[in-house]
């Protein structure tokens, strides 16, 4: 275990003015608090925070961050408190240590939800101070280095979490060396067979190409020196996990990989980068399609480099990365190497830094209402992907994950653009919204006011932001429908009770209904979660309900058509329609499937304008509409609270078809079905479904689901069907 003076010496090598008192105090405090605690391998527990601090000294981090590394487990695993750390080390260090502390006593059922909630807390802390991330990644790296001492049933979960979250997060922050080590350690645990196979093949190639890397290094160095460019050239093999991922992503074999050997060329200036590129391309043939310039177009994590692949000595393909020494420092250590971070000596990155952009956007999603599991899923989506770069018509550069569509592009520009998107132009041509974007595409989004993104877009979108926004827009639209229905139900309940309806009174009654705002309360009524009688009682505690006898039903369970009386429905008094339009003034208007309320029609038979109808409230589903003669209404005889008084409200300017089912018995001969379909088409009907219910040698019985304008339209269609000689009978099914 590292001694106190050894840690101090490591810090003083890169920071001679280190705060010796702070580091010594943190060392002693953490050692005393962890006391006799032991790790799984039997070492004193304090060896872990000490090793985390040692990892961070390799990144040359400030004194406060090293102190936080020493203290990072004290609140979580000892009797130390945030208040005590604030007093001894200052509020700044106390805040960082608390940001690294997992949430205890989470009242969550699933392990996944607990993991997600802790990840949310961590990202919020990181967004306030990036040093939280640096300590967390060093903490995870040391835990992975000692994973073999953990119980076997925990190793897989920890390794998977590392591959899914922490390694990609390190990559997003530009810390590629740490990302690669985390990936390798996790890969060996998650998929030991694949790790072993790739490692074995790499060893074989290493023996076969012995001396080749040194030869290419020498040739390249001499060429550059001869042309007056001072450069450091060194070769390396790709890591096993990087090779495995590429094989999986591109569905290729090991032999098809072209860049197992890679070389880095480090020069002094940006101009030297392009000069070196010219020398390389005029010396060896290039591999088409393998050139990328991340200097002119940096990645979002500040990564800058030129990538190219050439066919070098021995006909060996080799990938070259050409960059300056400063670019290389950022490429390896990311935000930990960022000059702005080091100069200021605090955890705040300037707005000039691109490395923090993704994280800030991700944290913004936290405040937009996703569940912890959804947030974690959306974050993982963005962590994994390589990028493509596209442009707006005005030349703004938009970086997106590989495989992204114009839908992702629209949401990347602005959430409102995504929500109102109806089409797109790619490079001046109208293209489907499902088109996969490519590097350099110019994307123009076509928008329309009042558009709501279809929920099906969620399966098309690639970015977490787009998926979360689509999900929220769909929820908002559904919530608006339920709130609209709830308002109508409550207004009519107040009207029937002879009480004044006002939002001010509703607002005052919200605490009694355990609701935060009127919109939520009305949506709950619309979903059937809160009876309108409860709302009435909350606003007017002195109100007394009047109850009435239930409706009479015929022998088949249908409500008798002539019945007219009072009935309690969803906590309000209402009339079952009697056919008299004057009595429909209190009924809820039903426009159709595409109206402003959550409405569906009974699965067996539907309902059409002209039918007398009844609404049945289904919690979480809205209103189901049945014709008053439907035998299915008998299922709700014992649930009077679910009955609603409804009426048709047809918009003459925007006609809409409605569902109805008919039963046709026809002669079983060739051409019968064609004749039936022709009659329906001639009568402007639309077949949405057809099935043969019964088939005999002479006759077939079929059920046909139609879409018609109204009851007159349906009756005319049935009449014409009956006139055909192939049709024995045609009748409506009353569902």
CA gap 30, 228 in Å, rounded: 54
3-state secondary structure of 606: strand
Instruction: Report the 10 Å Cβ neighbour count for 551.
Output: 19
Q: Which residues of 630-651 are buried (b: 16+ CB within 10 A; e: fewer)?
A: bbbbeebeeebbbbbbbbbebe
DSSP state of 238: P
Per the rule left: phi > 0, alpha: psi between -120 and 50, beta: everything else, 544 is beta
Helices of type H across 396-548: 406-413, 415-419, 457-460, 464-496, 503-513, 518-526, 532-539
CA gap 175, 184 in Å, rounded: 15
CA gap 50, 56 in Å, rounded: 10
Q: How many CA atoms lie within 13 A of 245 on its CB side?
A: 15
Catalytic hit among 43, 77, 583, 604 = 77
CA gap 149, 157 in Å, rounded: 14
CA gap 120, 140 in Å, rounded: 17
Contact 15, 120 (CB under 8 A): no
CA gap 666, 633 in Å, rounded: 30
First-residue to last-residue Cα distance in the chain: 78
3-state secondary structure of 322: strand
Q: Which residues of 95-115 are buried (b: 16+ CB within 10 A; e: fewer)?
A: bbbbbbbeeeeeebeeeebbb
Contact 359, 122 (CB under 8 A): no
CA gap 501, 492 in Å, rounded: 9
CA gap 362, 352 in Å, rounded: 18
Contact 49, 70 (CB under 8 A): yes
3-state secondary structure of 74: helix
Give the phi and the psi of residue 180 in degrees, each rounded to 5: -65, -40
Residues 6+ apart with CB under 8 A from 135: 52, 56, 65, 68, 69, 72, 96, 100
Chain Cα centroid distance, residue 300: 20
Beta-bridge mates of residue 319: 262, 309
**Which is it for strands 613-618 and 443-447: parallel, antiparallel or unpaired?**
unpaired
DSSP state of 336: G
Reading the block at residue 394, the tokens are 């005005």
3-state secondary structure of 401: strand
CA–CA distances in Å: residue 16 to residues 8, 10, 13, 63, 347 = 10, 10, 6, 11, 20
Instruction: For the chain, give the longest Cα–Cα distance.
Output: 104
CA gap 275, 734 in Å, rounded: 81
**Which is it for strands 658-667 and 613-618: parallel, antiparallel or unpaired?**
unpaired
Catalytic hit among 43, 76, 458, 520 = 76
The continuous run of DSSP H or E covering 559 comes out as: none
Residue ranges with strand state E in 532-685:
566-569, 572-575, 588-590, 599-601, 613-618, 622-627, 643-644, 646-648, 658-667
Q: Is 76 labeled as catalytic in the residue annotation? A: yes
Catalytic (active-site) positions: 76-77
């Amino acid at each position: 275990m590292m001694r106190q003076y050894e840690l101090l010496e490591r810090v003083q090598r890169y920071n001679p003015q280190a705060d010796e008192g702070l580091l010594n105090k943190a060392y002693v405090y953490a050692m005393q608090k962890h006391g006799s605690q032991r790790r799984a391998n039997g070492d004193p527990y304090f060896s872990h925070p000490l090793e985390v601090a040692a990892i961070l000294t390799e990144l040359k981090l400030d004194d406060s961050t090293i102190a936080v590394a020493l203290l990072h487990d004290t609140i979580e695993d000892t009797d130390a408190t945030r208040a005590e750390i604030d007093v001894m080390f200052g509020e700044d260090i106390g805040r960082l240590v608390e940001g690294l502390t997992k949430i205890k006593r989470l009242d969550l059922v699933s392990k996944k939800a607990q993991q997600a909630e802790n990840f949310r807390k961590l990202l919020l802390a990181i967004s306030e101070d990036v040093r939280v991330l640096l300590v967390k990644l060093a903490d995870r790296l040391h835990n992975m280095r000692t994973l073999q001492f953990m119980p076997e049933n925990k190793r897989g979960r920890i390794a998977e979490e590392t591959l899914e979250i922490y390694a990609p997060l390190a990559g997003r922050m530009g810390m590629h060396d740490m990302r690669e080590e985390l990936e390798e350690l996790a890969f060996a645990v998650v998929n030991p067979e694949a790790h072993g196979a790739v490692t074995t093949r790499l060893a074989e190639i290493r023996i076969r190409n012995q001396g080749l890397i040194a030869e290419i290094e020498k040739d390249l160095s001499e060429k550059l020196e001869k042309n007056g460019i001072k450069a450091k050239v060194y070769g390396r093999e790709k890591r096993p996990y990087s090779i495995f991922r590429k094989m999986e992503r591109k569905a290729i074999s090991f032999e098809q990989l072209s860049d197992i050997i890679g070389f880095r060329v480090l020069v002094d200036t940006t101009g030297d980068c392009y000069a070196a590129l010219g020398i390389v391309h005029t010396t060896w043939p290039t591999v088409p399609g393998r050139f990328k310039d991340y200097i002119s177009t940096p990645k979002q994590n500040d990564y800058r480099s030129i990538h190219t692949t050439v066919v070098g000595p021995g006909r060996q393909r080799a990938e070259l990365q050409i960059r300056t020494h400063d670019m290389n420092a950022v490429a390896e250590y990311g935000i930990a190497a960022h000059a702005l971070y080091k100069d200021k000596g605090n955890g705040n990155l300037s707005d000039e830094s691109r490395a923090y952009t993704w994280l800030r956007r991700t944290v913004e999603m936290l405040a937009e209402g996703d569940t912890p599991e959804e947030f974690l899923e959306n974050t993982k989506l963005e962590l994994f992907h390589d990028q493509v770069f596209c442009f707006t018509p005005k030349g703004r550069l938009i970086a997106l994950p590989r495989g992204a569509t114009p839908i992702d592009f629209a949401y990347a520009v602005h959430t409102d653009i995504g929500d109102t998107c109806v089409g797109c132009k790619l490079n001046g041509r109208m293209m489907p919204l499902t088109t996969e974007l490519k590097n350099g595409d110019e994307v123009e989004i076509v928008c329309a006011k009042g558009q709501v993104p279809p929920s099906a877009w969620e399966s098309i979108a690639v970015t977490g932001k787009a998926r979360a926004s689509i999900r929220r827009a769909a929820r908002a639209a559904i919530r608006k429908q339920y709130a609209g229905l709830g308002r109508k139900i409550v207004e009519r309940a107040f009207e029937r009770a002879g009480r004044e309806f006002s939002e001010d009174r509703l607002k005052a009654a919200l605490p009694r209904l355990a609701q935060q705002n009127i919109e939520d309360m009305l949506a709950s009524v619309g979903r059937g979660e809160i009876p309108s009688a409860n709302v009435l009682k909350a606003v007017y505690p002195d109100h007394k309900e009047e109850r009435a006898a239930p409706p009479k039903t015929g022998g088949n369970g249908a409500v008798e058509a002539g019945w007219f009386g009072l009935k309690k429905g969803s906590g309000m008094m209402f009339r079952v329609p009697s056919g008299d339009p004057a009595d429909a003034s209190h009924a809820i208007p039903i426009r159709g499937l595409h109206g402003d309320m959550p409405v569906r029609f009974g699965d067996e038979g539907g309902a059409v304008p002209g039918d007398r109808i009844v609404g049945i409230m289904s919690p979480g589903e809205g209103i189901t509409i049945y014709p008053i003669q439907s035998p299915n209404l008998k299922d709700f005889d014992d649930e009077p609270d679910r009955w609603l008084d409804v009426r048709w409200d047809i918009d003459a300017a925007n006609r809409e078809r409605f569902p109805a089912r008919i039963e046709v018995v026809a002669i079983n001969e060739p051409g019968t079905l064609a004749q039936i379909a022709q009659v329906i088409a001639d009568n402007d009907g639309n077949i949405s479904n057809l099935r043969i219910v019964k088939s005999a040698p002479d006759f077939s019985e079929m059920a046909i689901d139609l879409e018609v304008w109204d009851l007159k339209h349906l009756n005319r269609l049935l009449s014409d069907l009956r006139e055909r000689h192939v049709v024995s009978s045609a009748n409506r099914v009353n569902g």
